[in-house]
Amino acid sequence: MRLAGLIQERISDTLARHREELTALGPDALPLLDEALGFLTGGKRFRAQFAVLGFRAARELDTAGDVTGELSRVLDAACALEFFHAAALIHDDVIDRSDTRRGRPSVHRLFGAMHRQHGWRGSADHFGLAGAILLGDLLQSWADELMQAACDATPDRDAARRAREHFNRMRSEVAVGQYLDVLEEQQPEFAGHAEQLERSTRVLVFKSAKYSVEAPILIGAALAGASAELESALADFGLPVGVAFQLRDDQLGVFGDEELTGKPIGDDLIEGKRTVLVALARENLPVTQRRIFDDLLGTELDAEQVAILQRTIRESGAVERVEEMISRNIERATDALTGAPIRGDAAAQLTELAERAARRTH
Amino acid sequence: MRLAGLIQERISDTLARHREELTALGPDALPLLDEALGFLTGGKRFRAQFAVLGFRAARELDTAGDVTGELSRVLDAACALEFFHAAALIHDDVIDRSDTRRGRPSVHRLFGAMHRQHGWRGSADHFGLAGAILLGDLLQSWADELMQAACDATPDRDAARRAREHFNRMRSEVAVGQYLDVLEEQQPEFAGHAEQLERSTRVLVFKSAKYSVEAPILIGAALAGASAELESALADFGLPVGVAFQLRDDQLGVFGDEELTGKPIGDDLIEGKRTVLVALARENLPVTQRRIFDDLLGTELDAEQVAILQRTIRESGAVERVEEMISRNIERATDALTGAPIRGDAAAQLTELAERAARRTH
């Protein structure tokens, strides 16, 4: 797809410009830029694509021809989302102690390896942590610059202002959502079923559903000058798609194929993530089995223990329930577009991308 | 001073607004906001003050009367600097493993203590790390929102654009400068004197001098629509003041009074910071003494060892040399304002604030 190429090109150009600007700081700074490029190459680009389609929902946009000023600012906004996401993932991997990301070592691991390779003094792990924190900070700033560029180039000042508002709200919500997610893992006990499901759903909505789908669409739509009515329909579409996206993520975190996800099998089980899937599985377990489940979750599981937890979740019926929830959310999303003042080709593309987000295998 | 009160008020109002916006995320999110307010209460506010004086250098600004639209946007820009600085310090304290900040536990320590207090499961230290990373990320976003607000409210679009450019460059340079600072501490050996001095100076310039003084002044000046000539004079003023500011910081990091700095005595010696002060001290040491110095620096020093290193630095003559450098930089800064197209009262206030930055005891 040409769009993916345009986005990668814009990312590379942006990093090349920053490399240029930072030459006064000398060659020692270059590993930061190299790791940034490595991290920002590849990925599924769902957020960038949803932003482009959000724009298209309100206004025609040709991505096949020359890069016009209009396409250029949509690309800046789309890349802003990819930079911000990279920053968030780099910090997430530190917080979640994840050693791999997309089949490569995570950024703190890469900086740690650099330390070991050079035989530097002090702790390689701590240097890895420092490198990851600072690279995340840099990418967050650069995301913001891209968003500024997109907004500054938008002639409709009110459209630009609304796009910034969506972007700002998204940033706050995802950081706080991530905090709530971490907090959940620290609790000695699960809450009662209803409360736990509410807590797990809140994390799912703010840490992922709004962030991964709803906000990108709204940012794109706002930049295109979408009406309040269209924005509202797109929010009604984006939120359930985001929920389906994250429910799929929860499934992949437990049952995903390591070769495809690029993450160790049973990752979420070892981390002890209290996902909606896990909350639903626990509801149906007999007391003794639930106690064993709770004792294992969030510990250093071996392959056999991972398999036991997987089987328990599967036999609880939670997998089917989550699949139903995914289908229901996608239906609800599709319905939200019916009768909305949305451009026809964009509606079809949004539905298609929603299906891909919900049915993905990695 | 009324300005300090206005800045604190704007900070509190901003955090109250975010608290309001985040109510949908529930009460568990509130500790983030509480820690933010705790961290952002107090501090020396040099950056905010330099930004206000940068504005005043180009344009009259009454801070004693009502808060006009103009004063309001200068306050937003000044607070953006304070929020950004808080974010940077919170991440710095994680990176530098600092347990205290301004006489209080550092943010990662506060989140760690919260974990212990509740008897949560898992590692309290790791939870502290997660809380500090995420609060830093949040404050960085909120800094950016304040800067947006300041720029959006500035009628002169070119002025707003230049202010953003200064802000953007500052953010990149401080993150990369901080990375270079960390990198320096990992090196098994000091470089030869000339090279080490160059490396230490580069860190001093980018991590602190530009960030703490030059950039804030230029942001304020740009917002006021300063001419290129005035901006250039203010940069010639701001950089040496920033150098003096950081040279003083280096001195306080070795000789500062714990009661005043709010940091453990000899903090920089234990961390192994390769400051200009340390580079100058080493130059004059006989080989054997230098070897002992190098072996001690950056290790878990007891009070007696700290005292030995302090005496060594003092006897090397480095303290006088740094004092001379501070005085010379302040002179150079003052000279830069002579003949510049700067408003008279602002020139006097800038010189006074520069003196305070260079002569401070904490």
For range A297-326, the mean pLDDT: 94
Do the Cβ atoms of B186 and A127 come within 8 Å? yes
Find the closest chain A residue to B188 by CA distance. Answer: A121
Whether residue A234 contacts residue A68, with contact meaning beta carbons closer than 8 Å, is answered with no
**Lowest mean pLDDT: which of A267-276, B106-115, B168-177?**
A267-276
Residue of B83, B84, B137 to mutate, testing the A interface (most A Cβ within 10 Å of its Cβ): B137
d(CA B64, CA B345): 15
Decide: helix, strand or coil at residue B339: coil
For range A86-104, the mean pLDDT: 93
In sequence order, the 6+-apart residues with CB closer than 8 A to the CB of B323 are: none
d(CA B1, CA B70): 19
In sequence order, the 6+-apart residues with CB closer than 8 A to the CB of A260 are: A361, A362
Residue B8, number of CB atoms within 10 A of its CB: 18
The CATH number of whichever domain residue A159 belongs to comes to 1.10.600.10
Q: What is the pLDDT of residue B333?
A: 98
Q: What is the pLDDT of residue B2?
A: 87
Per 3-state DSSP, chain A is made up of helix, strand and coil in percentages (nearest 5) of 80, 0, 20
| Residue B155 pLDDT class (50, 70, 90 cuts) | very high
In sequence order, the 6+-apart residues with CB closer than 8 A to the CB of A317 are: A284
d(CA A86, CA A140): 8
d(CA A218, CA A222): 6
Decide: helix, strand or coil at residue A323: helix
For residue B15, give the amino acid letter.
L
For range A305-330, the mean pLDDT: 96
- What are A119-157's pLDDT values in tens digits? 998 999 999 999 999 999 999 999 999 999 999 999 999
| Residue A1 pLDDT class (50, 70, 90 cuts) | low
Q: Note whether B206 contacts A: Cβ–Cβ < 8 A.
A: yes
Find the closest chain B residue to A96 by CA distance. Answer: B130
Residue B1 has pLDDT above 80, yes or no: no
**Token pair belonging to B343:** 């408003």
Reference A268, options A40, A84, A133, A97; nearest CA is A97
Strand A100-101 to A104-105 pairing: antiparallel
Give the CA radius of gyration of chain A: 21
The kind and range of the H/E element at A123 are none
Residue of A111, A133, A157 to mutate, testing the B interface (most B Cβ within 10 Å of its Cβ): A133
d(CA A129, CA B6): 37
Residue A280 has pLDDT above 80, yes or no: yes
Residue B169 has pLDDT above 90, yes or no: yes
- Domain tally, chain A: 1
Residue B271 has pLDDT above 80, yes or no: yes
Q: What angle, rounded to 10 degrees, do the helices at B107-118 and B30-39 form?
A: 140
How many cross-chain Cβ pairs, A to B, lie less than 8 Å apart? 159
Q: What is the pLDDT of residue A171?
A: 98
The kind and range of the H/E element at A360 are none
d(CA A192, CA A189): 9
Q: What is the pLDDT of residue B267?
A: 86
For residue B198, give the amino acid letter.
E
Phi, psi of A300 (to 5 degrees): -75, 85
For range A76-80, the mean pLDDT: 98
Q: Which residue has the higher pLDDT, A171 or B300?
A: A171
The domain in which residue A68 lies consists of: 2-359
- What are A17-50's pLDDT values in tens digits? 999 999 999 999 999 999 999 999 988 899 999 9
Q: Where are the beta strands (DSSP E) in chain B?
A: 100-101, 104-105
Whether residue B103 contacts residue B262, with contact meaning beta carbons closer than 8 Å, is answered with yes
- What are A167-224's pLDDT values in tens digits? 999 999 999 999 999 999 999 899 999 999 999 999 999 999 999 999 999 999 999 9
Q: How far apart are the first and last CA of chain A?
A: 19
Q: What is the pLDDT of residue B218?
A: 98
Whether residue A211 contacts residue A177, with contact meaning beta carbons closer than 8 Å, is answered with yes
Q: Note whether A95 contacts B: Cβ–Cβ < 8 A.
A: yes
Q: What is the ipTM of this complex?
A: 0.96
For range B128-146, the mean pLDDT: 98
Whether residue B108 contacts residue B48, with contact meaning beta carbons closer than 8 Å, is answered with no
Whether residue A183 contacts residue A216, with contact meaning beta carbons closer than 8 Å, is answered with no
Whether residue B143 contacts residue B84, with contact meaning beta carbons closer than 8 Å, is answered with yes
Average pLDDT value over all residues in chain B: 95
Chain A residue numbers touching B141 (CB-CB < 8 A): 140, 168, 171-172, 175
Average pLDDT value over all residues in chain A: 95
Phi, psi of B105 (to 5 degrees): -60, 145
Do the Cβ atoms of B164 and A148 come within 8 Å? yes
d(CA A35, CA A104): 11
